């Protein structure tokens, strides 16, 4: 291994030196030792198992059911329930890898930091850039759906709605999606108060959303018609996999929990538990609600509605009250997804900034609240404007491909760390390794292949922009590039 701090004349060749710099790894011990440390302050360890689990559920539960179900059903038909199972199974294999690495390397960077410790700086940058796409676009995608349910709530309570010009994104009949911007700014306000305060608000919202989904199942099952399942696979397995790829971005919650590694009281013990517990709860609810929804409403009638559940409640009962109640719960539920995913985005950039790969402003921590305030404001404003300007379908698919790519790298990272550091203490171990990580990697690649050509083009452009930024800024300013590092 070449000395990273050695002057150029000590290297055998320029090509070798460049290769070594691109593959330089950050030691696990250093990653852990720097945990919580930022510019001018430190993150506070205030989150226990309950809060971590709620963060994971908060970032996951709600998106695929309250928002994207209306888009996924036309792709798969009644087999959308199978799409949820496949997406959940894909997430499960990756979640096992996340659980092992989160217990071994409990830091804020999530899969970015895991890649840095195992596969080198260039791969870590690519992973981190994917996470920026995953989290930032996911916040925007969910915020767009929030506006749909807000209109349902306003219509059911006071009989007015926000005009399409101000409640729908361009391309869907709108000029500027004001509700989407508002919910992102509200989440920003909570996050500026600190992790503990944000976690408390999220816990309340998670309880509300779980109660709402149980209520939907209890009422929706009354309108269940077995005939709606007669043609279970009208679009074949291709439709199932396409819907599963779109729905997969609904499962990024456990990744959000892993970004809380530097604010957890006992990260090595609690993070693996929170990841696995949340995934089981969320998958069970997703499949149950999807099954009831398709049974209560013919799949051809979903018509890409982002407020499908509220409409089903209204149709089944014949009363506006239940649909309005569900719309209220959905407004709370989707806001919690925005809150927790936005939290994850800020912590990813915090870790990348601490390593020198993005500007230092993202690592500044307010000494009073223990929150990266400037980071939070910048990310929130970016996501808010994105939410107000881009149609939901494009956002969801862009999030899925970024998520799948990052998860694929995590499955590789857990195998690499097993081989390079077999004696490291691990509070959780992936069973049947490397078989399960290989399955997780394979599922991710398969689902990426189900996404549209347009999504791949967008992803390619995004990665090209990221590589240019890394070459111009991150590669030169990396803390591992300096002799004192």
pLDDT (tens digit, 9 = 90+) per residue, 127-149?
A: 999 888 878 877 877 787 787 77
With DSSP H G I counted as helix, E B as strand and the rest as coil, what are the percentages for the chain, rounded to 5? 75, 0, 25
Contact 21, 11 (CB under 8 A): no
Token couple for 302? 């979903």
Helix (H, G, I), strand (E, B) or coil at 88: helix
pTM to 2 decimal places: 0.83
What is the pLDDT, as a whole number, of residue 376? 94
435-449 and 392-420 are packed helices; what angle lies between their axes, rounded to 10 degrees? 160
- β-sheet bridge partners, residue 234: none
The set of residues, in sequence order, having a beta carbon less than 8 Å from that of 175 and lying 6+ positions away, is: 165, 166
Looking at the chain, how many residues does it have?
485
What is the pLDDT, as a whole number, of residue 304? 54
Token couple for 142? 């969910």
Q: What is the pLDDT of residues 75-98, one digit of tens each?
A: 888 999 999 888 888 888 989 999
Token couple for 277? 């517990």
The conformation of residue 35, written as its DSSP 8-state character, comes to T
Residue ranges of the chain with per-residue pLDDT less than 50: 1-16, 484-485
The conformation of residue 161, written as its DSSP 8-state character, comes to -
Structural Rg of the chain based on CA atoms: 22
């Amino acid at each position: 291994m070449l000395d990273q701090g050695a002057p150029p004349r000590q290297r055998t060749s320029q090509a070798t030196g460049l290769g070594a710099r691109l593959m330089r790894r950050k030691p696990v011990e250093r990653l852990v030792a720097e945990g919580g440390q930022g510019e001018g302050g430190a993150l506070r360890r205030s989150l226990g198992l309950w809060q971590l689990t709620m963060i994971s559920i908060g970032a996951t539960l709600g998106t695929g059911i309250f928002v994207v179900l209306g888009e996924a059903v036309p792709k798969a038909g009644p087999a959308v329930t199978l799409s949820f199972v496949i997406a959940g199974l894909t997430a499960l294999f990756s979640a096992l890898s996340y659980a092992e690495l989160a217990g071994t390397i409990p830091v804020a960077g999530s899969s970015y930091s895991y890649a840095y410790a195992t596969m080198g700086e260039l791969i870590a940058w690519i992973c981190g850039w994917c996470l920026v796409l995953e989290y930032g676009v996911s916040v925007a995608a969910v915020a767009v759906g929030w506006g749909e349910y807000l209109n349902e709530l306003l219509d059911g309570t006071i009989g007015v709605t926000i005009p399409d010009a101000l409640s729908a994104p361009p391309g869907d009949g709108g000029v500027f999606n004001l509700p989407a911007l508002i919910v992102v700014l509200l989440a920003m306000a909570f996050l500026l108060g600190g992790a503990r305060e944000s976690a408390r608000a999220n816990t309340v919202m998670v309880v509300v959303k779980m109660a709402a989904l149980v209520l939907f199942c209890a009422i929706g099952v009354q309108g269940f018609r077995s005939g709606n399942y007669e043609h279970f696979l009208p679009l074949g397995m291709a439709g199932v996999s396409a819907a599963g790829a779109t729905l997969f971005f609904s499962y990024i919650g456990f990744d959000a929990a892993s970004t809380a590694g530097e604010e957890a009281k006992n990260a090595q013990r609690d993070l693996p538990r929170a990841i696995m517990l949340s995934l089981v709860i969320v998958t069970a609810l997703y499949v149950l609600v999807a099954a009831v929804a398709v049974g209560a409403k013919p799949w051809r009638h979903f018509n890409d509605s982002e407020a499908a559940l509220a409409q089903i409640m209204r149709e089944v009962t014949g009363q506006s009250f239940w649909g309005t109640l569900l719309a209220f719960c959905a407004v709370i539920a989707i806001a919690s997804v925005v809150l927790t995913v936005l939290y994850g985005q800020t912590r990813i950039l915090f870790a990348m900034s601490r390593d020198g790969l993005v500007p230092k402003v993202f690592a500044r921590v307010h000494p009073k609240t223990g929150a990266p305030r400037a980071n939070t404001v910048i990310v929130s404003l970016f996501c808010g404007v994105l939410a107000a300007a881009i149609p939901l379908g494009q956002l969801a698919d862009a999030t899925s491909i970024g998520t799948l790519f990052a998860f694929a790298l995590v499955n590789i990272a857990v195998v690499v760390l097993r081989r390079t550091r077999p004696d490291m203490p691990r509070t959780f171990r992936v069973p049947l390794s490397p078989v399960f990580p290989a399955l997780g990697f394979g599922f991710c690649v398969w689902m990426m292949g189900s996404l549209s050509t347009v999504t791949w083009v967008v992803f390619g452009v995004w990665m090209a922009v990221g590589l240019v930024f890394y070459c111009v800024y991150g590669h030169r300013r990396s803390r591992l590039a300096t002799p004192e590092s």
